[in-house]
């Protein structure tokens, strides 16, 4: 397994790290994450295709791209991989062809051959796709031993349109799955948020998919504003500072970010479903804990695979906004855990896909640092 990192910026390839002398013409897979404007340009795709003529190429728009230990906003971060024995198969769907994200998820996974499948890495449109339903659909047809990770494409802080592409110019509405096959793969994953819960446990009493109306039979928007205090006047932007924690079982919770509020309908729309009857608590950011959580996610990976060659980092746009000019510290914390022999790449997303526990069904997360590690035994 050979890996090279390349940075594409201002319509050309500007930097590369290729310590193993990977011949770009022999690359099997190229993953690219970048600014919406750049990643959707025909020239960008054509340049990448010309440089990696034999590779499967999966591209995804971001709310910030990760290149080594840097977080950038106006480039495309590429990683090229050549495997010694691992096989790659791909699947792609357009959400416009399905009446639900659940069905799109089912078809996405069913389209991949099942024998020797070990990992499915998913890149999904982040605006038109219901991430929670997509995950449910994928889980409903996957084999127990298959790991599913990935994320929802981003659009900076604009939340207007996102792009995903497989061997073609990225488009709106696409969902891509990359299947990794073979017995020499070593995989690990980690996903931790680092947010602090506060206030009472409450129960969702009225919701529809990812739209919340009532908590404890009270107007959820009014209740939320009362918790925000002075930050209520800055909604919806300030909502990224105060996500919700949802209890999914006795031990575990997942985080949900608010995407928008509707004053007319007195509702709140989240980046994931909020089932009626679920217990929730409000959350707030702590800078140091967010960075520590990124480090902990990397440590969890090492406990499963102590020699990862590639780490795919998918973190939330909300974390990037909150950490501001400290955002590089999150990636640097991960790098310190892995060391210099692990290549880092990835992006800031509108939702992260990863199991809560090792190799279990995947969940849709918000506001987490999610890491997928890949290595190939020689």
To the question of pTM greater than 0.95 for the whole model, the response is no
> Quick one: angle between helices 287-304 and 327-338, nearest 10?
30
CA gap 58, 341 in Å, rounded: 24
Residue partners of 305: CB distance under 8 A and separation at least 6: 186, 187, 188, 373, 375
Q: What is the pLDDT of residue 377?
A: 87
- What does each C-alpha distance from 138 to 144, 147, 365 come to in angstroms? 12, 11, 15
CA gap 302, 189 in Å, rounded: 9
Q: What is the pLDDT of residue 177?
A: 98
CA gap 113, 268 in Å, rounded: 39
CA 139, chain centre distance (Å)? 17
Contact 86, 1 (CB under 8 A): yes
CA gap 242, 228 in Å, rounded: 8
* % helix, strand, coil for the chain, step of 5: 25, 40, 30
Shortest CA distance to 31 belongs to which of 74, 70, 66? 66
Q: What is the pLDDT of residue 285?
A: 79
Residues pairing with 34 in the sheet: 61, 76
Residues pairing with 67 in the sheet: 70, 345
Q: What is the pLDDT of residue 358?
A: 84
- What does each C-alpha distance from 251 to 108, 136, 190, 357, 374 come to in angstroms? 30, 20, 17, 11, 28
DSSP single-letter state for residue 47:
H
CA gap 319, 311 in Å, rounded: 19
Q: What is the pLDDT of residue 185?
A: 94
Please report, in tens digits, the pLDDT of each residue of the chain (378 residues total): 999 999 999 999 999 999 999 999 999 999 999 999 999 999 999 999 999 999 999 999 999 999 999 999 999 999 999 999 999 999 999 999 999 999 999 999 999 999 999 999 999 999 899 999 999 999 999 999 999 999 999 998 888 899 999 999 999 999 999 999 999 999 999 999 988 888 889 999 999 989 999 999 999 999 888 888 888 888 877 777 888 999 877 778 888 888 788 889 999 988 888 999 999 998 887 888 999 999 999 999 999 877 899 999 999 998 998 899 999 999 999 999 999 999 999 999 999 999 988 889 999 998 899 999 999 987
Q: What is the pLDDT of residue 230?
A: 85
């Amino acid at each position: 397994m050979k890996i090279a990192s390349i940075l594409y910026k201002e319509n050309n390839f500007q930097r590369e790290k290729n310590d193993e002398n990977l011949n770009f013409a022999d690359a099997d897979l190229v993953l690219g994450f970048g600014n919406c404007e750049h990643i959707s340009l025909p020239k960008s795709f054509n340049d990448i295709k010309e440089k990696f003529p034999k590779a499967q190429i999966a591209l995804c728009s971001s709310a910030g791209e990760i290149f080594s230990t840097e977080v950038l906003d106006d480039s495309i971060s590429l990683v090229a991989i050549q495997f010694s024995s691992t096989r790659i198969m791909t699947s792609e769907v357009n959400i416009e062809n399905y009446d639900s994200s659940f069905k799109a998820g089912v078809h996405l996974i069913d389209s991949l051959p099942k024998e020797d499948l070990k990992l499915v890495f998913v890149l999904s449109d982040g605006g038109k796709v219901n991430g929670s339903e997509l995950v449910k659909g994928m889980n409903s047809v996957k084999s127990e031993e298959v790991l599913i990770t990935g994320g929802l494409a981003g659009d900076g802080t604009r939340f207007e349109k996102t792009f995903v592409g497989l061997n073609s110019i990225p488009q709106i509405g696409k969902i891509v799955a990359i299947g990794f096959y073979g017995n020499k793969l070593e995989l690990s994953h980690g996903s931790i948020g680092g947010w602090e819960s506060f206030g009472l446990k409450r129960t969702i009493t009225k919701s529809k998919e990812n739209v919340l109306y009532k908590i404890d039979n009270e107007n959820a928007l009014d209740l939320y504003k009362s918790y925000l205090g002075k930050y209520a006047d800055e909604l919806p932007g300030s909502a990224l500072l105060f996500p919700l924690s949802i209890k999914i079982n006795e031990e575990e919770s997942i985080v949900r970010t608010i995407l928008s509020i509707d004053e007319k309908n007195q509702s709140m729309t989240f980046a994931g479903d909020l089932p009626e009857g679920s217990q929730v608590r409000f959350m707030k950011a702590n800078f140091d804990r967010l960075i520590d959580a990124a480090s902990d996610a990397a440590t969890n990976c090492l406990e499963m695979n102590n020699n990862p060659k590639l780490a795919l980092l998918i973190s939330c746009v909300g974390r990037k906004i909150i950490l501001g000019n400290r955002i590089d510290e999150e990636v640097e914390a991960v790098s310190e855990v892995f060391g210099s022999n692990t290549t880092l790449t990835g992006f800031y997303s509108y939702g992260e896909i990863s199991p809560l526990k090792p190799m279990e069904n995947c969940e849709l997360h918000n506001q987490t640092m999610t890491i997928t590690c890949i290595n190939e035994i020689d």
